[in-house]
Structure 1
Amino acid sequence: MAWTRKILRVNLTQGTCSSEPLNMAWAAQYLGQRGLASKYLVSEIDPQVDPLSPENKLIYATGPLTGTMASTGGRYSVITKGPLTGAIACSNSGGYFGAELKSAGWDMIIFEGKSPQPVYLHIENQQATLLPADDLWGKTVWDTEGTLKKRHQDSLLRVSSIGRAGENQVLFAAIVNDLHRAAGRSGVGAVMGSKNLKAVAVRGTLGVGNIADPKAFMAAVTAGKKVLAENAVTGQGLPTYGTQVLMNVINEMGASPTRNHRDVQFEGARKISAEAMHEKRATDGRTHLVTNQACFGCTIACGRISRIDETHFSVQTKPEYWGANGGLEYESAWALGNANGVDDLEALQYANLLCNEDGMDPISFGATVGAVMELFELGILTREDIGLDAPFGSAAALCRLAEMTVRGEGFGKIVGQGSKRLCTQYGRPELSMTVKGQEFPAYDGRALQGMGLAYATSNRGACHLRGYVVSSEVFGIPVKTDPRDTDGKPELLKAFQDATAIVDSSGLCVFTTFAWTLNDIQPQIQAACPGDWSLESLLAMGERIWNLERDFNLAAGLSSKDDTLPPRLLTEPCKTGASKGMVAELGKMLPEYYRLRGWTPDGVPTTATRARLGL
């Protein structure tokens, strides 16, 4: 059956843990993970709820393929109402935690209420217990994981926790598992901190059984792994260079947002690229990159393990950062680097380590620093306001602001509220490069028209992973489209968004879709799960999930007015690159997107659409 058919419900206010059956009627409509947990969330909370109040809920969810032999089947998601956006939040993570939770016998954990004091949840198969975490409060993610493994005398314990960023209600705080894998975006860590929940520690030895058709499943899994191995991206590019392979590619085509989107090409990109991570340093003769690393069941292994230069100013007196640790991925390298004009690879690694160590989204953090640096250069923010000089290109300012933000010190408290609130506070809201309050990732919506539409319409705020049309616009996967064209982009994006909802709900990693189409994924789901999981039913499910999320956001107070981009992208043309002179042509694409979605001109799902999807 692929599902364990069990949910763990944890009432933090009362301090109770109880088991209940999974709603299989909902599972038949929403599959698992992102889709199914979103259905639970929208059914159980008021969309108008304050995200940081006890009335909000926090859901950990696996998919039916999580913990199985399917390649990349180690994913889990955290679903809640996000404090950064006020919209539905679903943040996906890899590592080993998700598979461990599934192997302990649980499809999902629903946290509700707020504990009167700090606690953590300890799960050993079917036994779940809330335990005091007073001594863990104030500790980093890394310290928390080490302490819990020692306390329970189990080196194989899998830990998902928040650091000081989550405790201090940084609105883009992350939840980190396995030291450097994260449910990173939209502030899910702040919600966890608001509930006085420090960590979830899991040990599962039950395994994942009940596959509907084991022989068919193994055949589909084996075929899928062969496709991944033979593909240039998943079999060669990502294992060798990780996502950082994109740094030079995106920059050279003029689609890399630089210095808070003032520019679309960064002259220092080469110094912080995947290629630079492979080069030997002059200081110690070692390469920045130590090795790659895979999550549970992954045959791609795109993760990076890096070693920081011990002579670098950021760590000269901090030997705790000298060893091998989680390395830069493209989004974090871009946000900490290009967005701020910083080309110091070691400074980026240090800031990224702080984000890992204390649970903070490096994309929103880095992009917010970009806004700070622009405000500083305009004279709106001063040295007295910030506590330091913060011009574009300052590696020292980047590192110091990272320290201040994770610790909740001084101006770091304002940075921790995100760029929308920061820029509004200082009278320049248009300098916040956000959609629905969430900062942009590493692709410019003027140079990549489809991504501009993807950002504007994403249900969780600006996001590349909800509809990665970069695959088509840059790599020609599954078909090549001109990044400067608007024609056909609404249809392309809708297809990507619906397909991604399927992948996110299955327990698989979206990176598989560089090689796989739904024709590779559908047989794995069909063999694992009883019932009808035909391509047609899966596509309807993906569309159903997208509309469910949209309904929640509308009820939460968002509207078509939030499906937009910052004025800079709509009115200030690209200065260089292949798209020189272009702005984001959102107005040409949005009406057609709404029509294809079956929404009114105001972006509301019609009665007919809701009926067709069973909403």
Structure 2
Amino acid sequence: MAWTGKVLRVNLTTGTCTTEDLRMDWAKSYLGQRGLATKYFVEEVSAKVDPLSPENKLIYATGPLTGTMASTGGRYSVITKGPLTGAIACSNSGGYFGNELKSAGWDMVIMEGKSPKPVYLLIENENAKLMDASDLWGKSVWDTEPAIKTKHQDPLMRVCSIGKAGENQVLYAAIVNDLHRAAGRSGVGAVMGSKNVKAIAVRGTKGVGNISNPKEFMKVTYEKKKILAENAVTGTGLPTYGTQVLMNVINEMGAMPTNNHRDVIFDGAKDISGEKMHEPRKTDGKANLVTNQACFGCTIACGRISKIDETHFTVENKPQYHGASGGLEYEAAWALGSSNGVNDLEALTYVNFLCNEHGIDPISLGATISAVMELYEMGVLTEAQLGCKAPFGSAQALVKLSEDTCNAVGFGVEIGQGSKRLTEKYGQPQLSMSVKGQEFPAYDSRGIQGMGLAYATSNRGACHLRGYTVASEVLGIPVKTDPLVTDGKAGLVKAFQDATAIFDSAGICVFTSFAWTLADVQPQVAAACGDEFDMANLETMGERIWNMERQFNLEAGFTKADDDLPARLKKDAAKVGPAKGLVNGIDKMLPEYYDLRGWDTEGRPTSATLERLGL
């Protein structure tokens, strides 16, 4: 069995760390990581809990394939009730932290209560204790991680931490590991900050044993890595351009949300694209992109390492930003760029550095600033309030507002509450491009219809990683569907959602799904965990996980009304491009989706569905 069989429970109120055996009966029904940790969470925490109260819990979880030789087997997730949405939150990260936690002998860490003073959790294999973090409080992620490594004289230690955003309860604060990988969405970092936890530092030397069938596991993982290497997306596109390979593709489709979703094509897309990151600059002859980088065990290596032009206004006289660090990925480039009409690649890279440094989700940050820019252009917000002129297209405004948000000063405090709360405060709630309070990712659902349904029904609020129909509607994976029609999208969304739940719960990266289907994951899980994990079992398990999350949200007070899109996407037709004249057909797709899910007309799982899934 590929689980360690151990759970670390940390009571922050009393300062104690205790060991528990993993509930293997639950593991066989929910697999690991997202599914298993959510099962623990919903059993232990009321859906009515205040996300920032001591009664909320925070679970860091690995999957059975985390730390193994399965490609991309370095993932971990953070599960809690999200402060941005009030819904179930599960935020996934790569890098090296997940493997280290698993190699130290832990399937998950459950944090409960609240520490009376700032602390960090030190884990050295089976030994765990809380350490004073008073000297680290107020420091950035970039300062915290090296400080902990220096203190313990261990450069191989892996650290996940929060920056100022998490400490200051920015509602979309992230937890950052390895300096620029992040459990980025839904505000998991704010929950960590609310508990006075600055970091977790892990050193694991035990490795991952207990593979059910080692010989078969070696054979099947080798075969599946070949599929990734030979695929055009995972073997060529992502290693070369990262997720930024999508910038020009989505723009040409007329599905690039621009100026807070007022438009669907951004004329400056080519200036902030993956291709542009490769081009030598006129100022110094060097490219924005330095190299690509892989997370633990990854054979794709989509990560970007970038260096900002040292003469650019954002980093003049700021030598701390002159080195190479985590560069733009597509979602950040869109949210900070196209969404705000900004085509300054260096400015976007700088703000992305800020997000990594201070621990903040660039998607929600950029999308909230775009709502601010629209409010400014409407005259609702003024230069005096914002501290700057803030029209769409202003790189200076983007930088100023981002710095203020990261440091929780000026109008940045309000931006840190997210677009839903901000636009409601100023009487224009229709300008928040969000679902359940979480801001949209980088696909306009008038041009990619299935993504509208995926956004509306996502259990953690608007999200592309819960049902990435772009794979089918744009890239033709595993089959090509027409992005401009609603027919068949309910079934497509459900299939992607259920399959993604298994990818997430296994401990592998969802980007493998550009080349793999669930049929490629299943033999790896079976070889690692046991033959009972056949296709039928995994398919049911994915559906079970989705419905469990749904139940939590219903108990938290969400209803059918929350499975919807902003009026702009339902009433304002795309003006140009292939989707010209179209709005999103969510109202047509949603009833069919509910029916396929085995839910009633109000979006509640029927008793027959719950019984079939063992819920």
TM-score class normalised by the smaller sequence? over 0.9
The aligned residue for residue 224 of structure 2 is 224
Residues of 1 paired with 2:387 and 2:113: CA distance? 38
Q: Is it true that 1:206 corresponds to 2:229 in the alignment?
A: no
Question: AA paired with 2:583?
Answer: V
Residues of 2 paired with 1:559 and 1:36: CA distance? 25
Question: AA paired with 2:48?
Answer: Q
Q: Secondary structure at the match of 1:4?
A: coil
- Aligned ranges 1:165-244 → 2 under 5 Å: 165-244=165-244
The aligned residue for residue 480 of structure 1 is 480
Residues of 2 paired with 1:195 and 1:518: CA distance? 37
Residues of 2 paired with 1:577 and 1:456: CA distance? 24
- CA deviation string 1:324-356 (max 9, x = no partner): 110000000000000000000000001000000
Q: Offset at 1:387?
A: 1.3
Q: Is it true that 1:360 corresponds to 2:360 in the alignment?
A: yes
Question: AA paired with 1:488?
Answer: G
Residues of 1 paired with 2:401 and 2:203: CA distance? 37
Residues of 1 paired with 2:208 and 2:533: CA distance? 20
The aligned residue for residue 377 of structure 2 is 377
Residues of 2 paired with 1:57 and 1:492: CA distance? 33
The aligned residue for residue 159 of structure 1 is 159
The aligned residue for residue 452 of structure 1 is 452
- CA deviation string 1:480-506 (max 9, x = no partner): 000011110000110000000000000
- Aligned ranges 1:187-336 → 2 under 5 Å: 187-336=187-336
Residues of 2 paired with 1:253 and 1:503: CA distance? 28
- Aligned ranges 1:24-43 → 2 under 5 Å: 24-43=24-43
The aligned residue for residue 44 of structure 2 is 44
- CA deviation string 1:205-236 (max 9, x = no partner): 00000000001101110000000000000000
TM-score, L = length of structure 1: 1.00
Query: Which structure 2 segments of 5+ residues have no match?
Result: none
Q: Offset at 1:21?
A: 0.3
Question: AA paired with 1:325?
Answer: S
Q: Secondary structure at the match of 1:312?
A: coil
Q: Secondary structure at the match of 2:589?
A: helix
Residues of 2 paired with 1:495 and 1:482: CA distance? 16
Residues of 2 paired with 1:415 and 1:512: CA distance? 34
Q: Is it true that 1:539 corresponds to 2:539 in the alignment?
A: yes
Q: Offset at 1:437?
A: 0.1
Q: Offset at 1:519?
A: 1.4
- CA deviation string 1:129-176 (max 9, x = no partner): 100000000000010001000000000000000000000000000000
Question: AA paired with 1:187?
Answer: G
Q: Offset at 1:531?
A: 4.8
Residues of 2 paired with 1:508 and 1:20: CA distance? 25
TM-score, L = length of structure 2: 1.00
Q: Secondary structure at the match of 1:106?
A: coil
Q: Offset at 1:388?
A: 1.1
Residues of 2 paired with 1:227 and 1:294: CA distance? 17
- CA deviation string 1:402-447 (max 9, x = no partner): 1100110010000000000000000000000000000000000111
The aligned residue for residue 148 of structure 2 is 148
The aligned residue for residue 514 of structure 1 is 514
Q: Is it true that 1:406 corresponds to 2:406 in the alignment?
A: yes
Q: Secondary structure at the match of 1:430?
A: helix
Residues of 1 paired with 2:268 and 2:563: CA distance? 32
Question: AA paired with 1:55?
Answer: E
The aligned residue for residue 500 of structure 1 is 500
The aligned residue for residue 396 of structure 1 is 396
Residues of 2 paired with 1:473 and 1:577: CA distance? 16
Q: Secondary structure at the match of 1:497?
A: helix
Query: Which structure 1 segments of 5+ residues have no match?
Result: none
Q: Is it true that 1:109 corresponds to 2:109 in the alignment?
A: yes
Q: Offset at 1:267?
A: 0.5
Residues of 2 paired with 1:46 and 1:476: CA distance? 41
Q: Secondary structure at the match of 1:462?
A: coil
- Aligned ranges 1:417-432 → 2 under 5 Å: 417-432=417-432
Structure 1's 13 and 531: CA in aligned 2 closer, same or farther, altered over 3 A? farther
| Alignment RMSD | 0.4
Indicate the percent of aligned positions where both proteins have the same amino acid.
Answer: 72
Q: Secondary structure at the match of 1:455?
A: helix
Question: AA paired with 1:179?
Answer: L
- CA deviation string 1:463-490 (max 9, x = no partner): 0000000000001100000001111000
The aligned residue for residue 7 of structure 1 is 7
Residues of 2 paired with 1:603 and 1:445: CA distance? 21
- CA deviation string 1:248-278 (max 9, x = no partner): 0000110000000000000000000001000
Residues of 1 paired with 2:14 and 2:541: CA distance? 36
Q: Secondary structure at the match of 1:52?
A: coil
Residues of 2 paired with 1:453 and 1:517: CA distance? 21
Q: Secondary structure at the match of 2:306?
A: strand
- CA deviation string 1:515-534 (max 9, x = no partner): 01111110000000025111
Q: Aligned residue pairs: how many?
A: 615
- Aligned ranges 1:115-154 → 2 under 5 Å: 115-154=115-154
- Aligned ranges 1:521-532 → 2 under 5 Å: 521-532=521-532
Structure 1 runs (4+) greater than 3 angstroms displaced: none
Q: Secondary structure at the match of 1:115?
A: coil
Question: AA paired with 2:438?
Answer: Q
Residues of 1 paired with 2:161 and 2:559: CA distance? 33
Question: AA paired with 2:302?
Answer: C
